[in-house]
């Protein structure tokens, strides 16, 4: 794509003319060739298109909701994009939880489990549960983010677990667009990998 310096009468133009496509990006007008489909769409492409349609519906709902719009407005301003595009990007980028950092967790009350998350905007909520090998719930609670939209969360243990116990730690999060992510690890308490 190329940057174009247009006559002021058409400078705000967005859309297509013939085989050219015009769009605004960060205050500039960009022009490119209209894409040409060369093959029939497969199931994967149709699924991507449906996800994009859902994202468009979400972004439109954000524009109609003053509270949601207010949440995305400073992010959009910081990134020099519209609120609509900030919301759409949040919907389309799925959150992911990286492997847990368990070096500070030895099974004692007050020990910390460190959690790192990647997401376009950040998570709205993150829950942690610890279960015994037989599935019995040992403890559950909310993780706390260490700095706004930092992607660094921590969970402080509230129950004692014996060293050497095999446990399951499940972490479930949801981002501001409602996308969910989950990870389960099966460490032995006090043993570092």
pLDDT digits (tens, 9 = 90+) for 6-34: 666 666 667 778 888 887 777 777 788 88
Alpha helices per DSSP H over 96-158: none
pLDDT at 59: 97
Q: pLDDT band at 38, cuts 50/70/90?
A: confident
Helix (H) or strand (E) holding 46: helix 43-64
Check if CATH label 2.40.37.10 holds for domain 96-185.
Answer: no
pLDDT tens digit sequence for 133-191? 999 999 999 999 998 889 999 999 999 999 999 999 999 999 999 999 999 999 999 87
Residues making up the chain, counted from first to last:
193
Q: How many CB atoms sit inside 10 A of residue 56's CB? A: 15
Q: Is 102 a residue whose pLDDT tops 70? A: yes
Yes or no: say if 173 and 192 are a contact pair by the CB < 8 Å rule. Answer: no
Specify whether the CB–CB gap between 162 and 189 falls below 8 A: yes
Q: Spell out the domain ranges in the chain.
A: 1-36, 38-92, 96-185
CA 13-19-23 angle, to 5 degrees, is 30
Q: What pTM value is reported for the model? A: 0.75
d(CA 24, CA 11): 9
SS3 163: coil
Rounded-to-integer distance, Cα 87 and Cα 9, Å = 30
């Amino acid at each position: 794509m190329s940057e174009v310096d247009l006559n002021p009468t058409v400078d705000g133009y967005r859309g297509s003319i013939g085989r050219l496509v015009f769009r605004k990006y960060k205050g500039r007008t960009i022009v490119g060739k209209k894409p040409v489909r060369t093959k029939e769409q497969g199931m994967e492409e149709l699924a991507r298109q449906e996800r994009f349609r859902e994202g468009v519906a979400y972004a439109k709902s954000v524009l109609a909701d003053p509270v949601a719009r207010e949440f995305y407005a400073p992010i959009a301003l910081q990134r020099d994009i519209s609120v609509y595009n900030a919301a759409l990007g949040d919907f389309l980028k799925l959150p992911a939880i990286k492997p847990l950092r368990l070096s500070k967790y030895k099974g004692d009350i007050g020990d910390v489990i460190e959690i790192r998350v990647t997401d376009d905007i950040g998570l709205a909520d993150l829950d942690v549960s610890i279960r015994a090998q037989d599935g019995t719930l040992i403890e559950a609670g909310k993780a706390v983010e260490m700095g706004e939209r930092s992607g660094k969360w921590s969970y402080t243990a509230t129950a004692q677990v014996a060293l050497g116990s095999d446990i399951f730690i499940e972490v479930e999060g949801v981002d501001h667009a409602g996308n969910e992510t989950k990870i389960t690890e099966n460490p032995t308490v006090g043993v570092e990998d």
